[in-house]
Structure 1
Amino acid sequence: MSNPFENLSPRPTILQVVPALETGGAERTTVDVARAVVAAGGRAIVASRGGRMVAELAVSGVEHVDMAVHSKNPVVMGLNVERLARVIQREGVDLVHARSRAPAWSALAAARRAKIPFVTTYHSRVHEKPRLKVFYNSVMVRGDAVIANSAYTAGNIRAVHAPEEGRIFTVPRGIDIEAFSQVTPSRMEALARRWGVGEGSGTVFVHPARLTRWKGQTVSIEAARLLAARGLNDFTLLFAGDAQGRDGYAAELEKSIREAGLQGRVRLVGHGEDMAAAYALSDAVLSPSIEAEPFGRTAVEAQAASRPVIVSDAGGQQETVIEGETGFRVAPGDAAALADAMARVVEMGPEARAAMGAAGHRNAAAHYSVGVMCATTLGIYARLISKSRAAR
């Protein structure tokens, strides 16, 4: 694969701005692209309020600037314009890439002041109302390039904001295929001990997502209850994800598990530090979000890990999961349909599950690799920087 920066001299400095670097699709993409910039000979800087992923940046030679870019306070946002402008000037930044709305307003103003290209990526849902929210979100389509993480997201951007067609680029989220397909037995064993998975666990379903209602944990619990009511009890369902301050919702989930009589069979296991091992430990992965996922990283990661997936038949997951071949798609919020799909996975047996997982791996490797995503993104950077430099 050619280097998009090979004809740029000097090699560019790219500043990405993201609220935090804890966990999530936008954060992972930020880290992946920053690494690719460095690998291509450029210089990568990330501005955020910090988080557990900052250590990954340092290992890859990426610089981090600690800044309260997550704040929606108008005074702080105004101060962030000045702070980002100083970073741009001091570090010789060639292009700014914002990945969320609050930091995008400050980054847009700083980039325009410096007369350098401004890029956005729409990772989140595209809201159609109310009007004030639509205006607030409109900063995400004010870039010289507007990157959508799926065709679904791109279509919604066109419908709501109608930017010039030449500024919209669809770049699906990329996954490190090898990272999710090469897991040592020791990692699996360590996680199995921590999560209490072993003989007697039956078919293991993992539902990886932060604990928030729209990710569909309540639907999965109800589906598990329905399975048990049918007499199908040979399974384990694990919710892997942070509460991120939503302790009330976590308590609600625990209560639902108790009331359904599923203690021990259905468990909240907390943040998954090693998600590749979590997928490997599972027999199938659930992503039954009750609202459309703009992309749906979990579904692609699970396929990269050669695991069947059951997802909501909406949004970006409609693009990434091939019905009946790499997994199953069910109506959002339909616990009975989810239970039916889970029952099919149980009844398939190990060999059929392995075949479906292998098909998923081929699908992920062909269409959703991190290499393709980064090369496409760096190509967009290179074209904008070349044009900007020529105009000076």
Structure 2
Amino acid sequence: MSNRRQHLSVLVAHPSADLYGSDRVLLETVEGLRRAGAQVVVTLPASGPLVPEIERRGATVVLSPTPVLRKSMLSVPGMLRLAVTSARGLRSSIGVIRTARPDVILANTITVPLWTLAGRLTGVPVVTHVHEAEANAPRVLRAALALPLLLSHGILTNSQFSAETLAAALPFLRGRSEILYNGVPGPTVAVAPRDGLHGGLRILYVGRLSHRKGVDVAIDALLELRSSGVEAKLGIVGAVFPGYEDYEAGLREQVAANGAESHVTFHGFQNGIWPFLAESDVVVVPSRIDEPFGNTAVEAVLASRPVIVSNTSGLREAAAGYRSAQFVEPGDVGELAAALARVSVGWQDYQADARVDSAEAVRRHSPEHYGRLMAGHLAQAAGKAL
């Protein structure tokens, strides 16, 4: 019997080669599958920093320029462009499947629906891993994004909120998905919180720079906190999505207009976040609109840092039950500033609680446990034993 037949063979289709939330979850998926003995091929539409990380984990990367569904495509001109690129991409996808000969395809996010169709056409079962939850988008848009899931053999969501959002968009999907909370690795070397806040409170934001993520809210909260007499600084780790450079320019103008250049540092995109968490005291996740989950919040807790998140959607699930976590109304600068002030005043309690919370986060989000569950789901869809 050939090696291919002895081991589960998985083709993972992913929409980008960045290193943000769903990209990092992909790495945990690859690592879990490899630990289970599976052969893994990951297909990406273009190269990027994710590629060497995938290869380092023992998987093969294949570049296939298939379209990635974006909201901007849901217009008449956008749909025409999508139709043209889909026709070309479908041929490419089928070619990749026939070469890789996988037992199962994992479509990693709902933005790569062409792989679900390609799987159907080639007779390969497809499991879709949903990382999105556009609860505030128009229903027709949500339904359009969710429609390809009707072709999936299995659906995994990263939160209860994501599952409920899918069901609200397409009632046919109710009860068809299973929740698989993200596996989130902690820091290799744990750095305990500071005993005292000498030099002021060190605040950290990690993630995409976008209006929906509320980075400008974090800056305004810092300014309000400082105006109330609390010494504090803000570090911003992340970059804009290509085409949204104006937003970052606006953030820099916001800082300059308030004379806060010495209190706000833009670190840009960083492959490794743990050194920045180690240097921080508190992490903010000030998203304005719904998030399917909150990996950044979990990473903060794993690093033993208090976290302040918007009281919405999957962020509530990510930070629920942690004593050092606080919830604030999305977009409310005053509430975020007040929460930061509470951390500054009650630092001894917050840092002590954060140490305890870290152990619980390790238990909840063990990458090993996540990997075993993911491998089991895919093996079941393929009708194979690991």
Q: Report the TM-score when normalising by structure 2.
A: 0.88
Q: 2:156 matched to 1:143? A: no
Secondary structure class of the residue paired with 1:215: coil
Q: Distance in 2 between matches of 1:113 and 1:295?
A: 32
**Contact 1:204–1:237 under 8 Å retained in 2:** yes
Q: Distance in 1 between matches of 2:258 and 2:310?
A: 23
Aligned counterpart, 1:360 = 357
Q: Distance in 2 between matches of 1:323 and 1:133?
A: 30
Secondary structure class of the residue paired with 1:14: strand
Q: 2:133 matched to 1:125? A: yes
Secondary structure class of the residue paired with 1:163: helix
Within a 5 Å distance, the mapping from 1:350-389 to structure 2 comes to 351-386=348-383
**Contact 2:105–2:125 under 8 Å retained in 1:** yes
Opposite residue 214 of structure 1, the aligned amino acid is: R
Where does structure 2 lack aligned partners over 5 or more consecutive residues?
70-81
Where does structure 1 lack aligned partners over 5 or more consecutive residues?
1-7, 186-198
Aligned counterpart, 2:16 = 20
Bigger shift: 64-73 or 361-370?
64-73
Q: Cα gap change, 1:146/1:71 in structure 2, threshold over 3 Å: closer, same or farther? A: closer
Within a 5 Å distance, the mapping from 1:238-249 to structure 2 comes to 238-245=235-242, 246-249=244-247
**Contact 2:166–2:173 under 8 Å retained in 1:** no
Q: 1:115 aligns with which of 123, 131, 142?
A: 123
Offset, 1:162: 2.1
Aligned counterpart, 1:297 = 295
Deviations along 1:161-212, whole A, 9 cap, x unmatched? 12355531101111013xx251589xxxxxxxxxxxxx97421110111111
Aligned counterpart, 2:56 = 59
**Contact 2:211–2:247 under 8 Å retained in 1:** yes
Q: Cα gap change, 1:93/1:274 in structure 2, threshold over 3 Å: closer, same or farther? A: same
Q: Cα gap change, 1:101/1:317 in structure 2, threshold over 3 Å: closer, same or farther? A: closer
Q: Distance in 2 between matches of 1:99 and 1:275?
A: 23
Within a 5 Å distance, the mapping from 1:307-346 to structure 2 comes to 307-322=305-320, 325-346=323-344
Opposite residue 238 of structure 2, the aligned amino acid is: G
RMSD: 2.3
Opposite residue 189 of structure 2, the aligned amino acid is: Q
Offset, 1:79: 2.1
How many residue pairs get aligned? The number is: 364
Offset, 1:345: 0.8
**Contact 1:47–1:69 under 8 Å retained in 2:** no
Q: Distance in 2 between matches of 1:230 and 1:70?
A: 49
**Contact 1:20–1:70 under 8 Å retained in 2:** no
Opposite residue 243 of structure 1, the aligned amino acid is: V
Secondary structure class of the residue paired with 1:125: coil
**Contact 1:23–1:53 under 8 Å retained in 2:** yes
Secondary structure class of the residue paired with 1:87: helix
Q: Cα gap change, 1:21/1:206 in structure 2, threshold over 3 Å: closer, same or farther? A: same
**Contact 1:205–1:284 under 8 Å retained in 2:** yes
Q: 2:32 matched to 1:36? A: yes
Aligned counterpart, 2:94 = 85
Deviations along 1:223-276, whole A, 9 cap, x unmatched? 1121122122x2111111012332211111111112223221122221123201
Q: 2:269 aligns with which of 265, 268, 271?
A: 271
Offset, 1:71: 4.3
Q: Report the TM-score when normalising by structure 1.
A: 0.87
Offset, 1:69: 2.6
Opposite residue 126 of structure 2, the aligned amino acid is: F
Aligned counterpart, 1:175 = 184
**Contact 1:322–1:328 under 8 Å retained in 2:** no
Aligned counterpart, 2:112 = 103
**Contact 2:134–2:290 under 8 Å retained in 1:** no
Q: Distance in 2 between matches of 1:294 and 1:25?
A: 11
**Contact 1:293–1:316 under 8 Å retained in 2:** yes
Secondary structure class of the residue paired with 1:46: strand
Offset, 1:372: 2.0
Q: Distance in 1 between matches of 2:141 and 2:216?
A: 31
**Contact 1:120–1:141 under 8 Å retained in 2:** no
Aligned counterpart, 1:159 = 168
**Contact 1:121–1:140 under 8 Å retained in 2:** no
Offset, 1:131: 1.8
Opposite residue 34 of structure 2, the aligned amino acid is: V
Opposite residue 252 of structure 2, the aligned amino acid is: E
**Contact 1:147–1:170 under 8 Å retained in 2:** yes
Aligned counterpart, 1:215 = 213
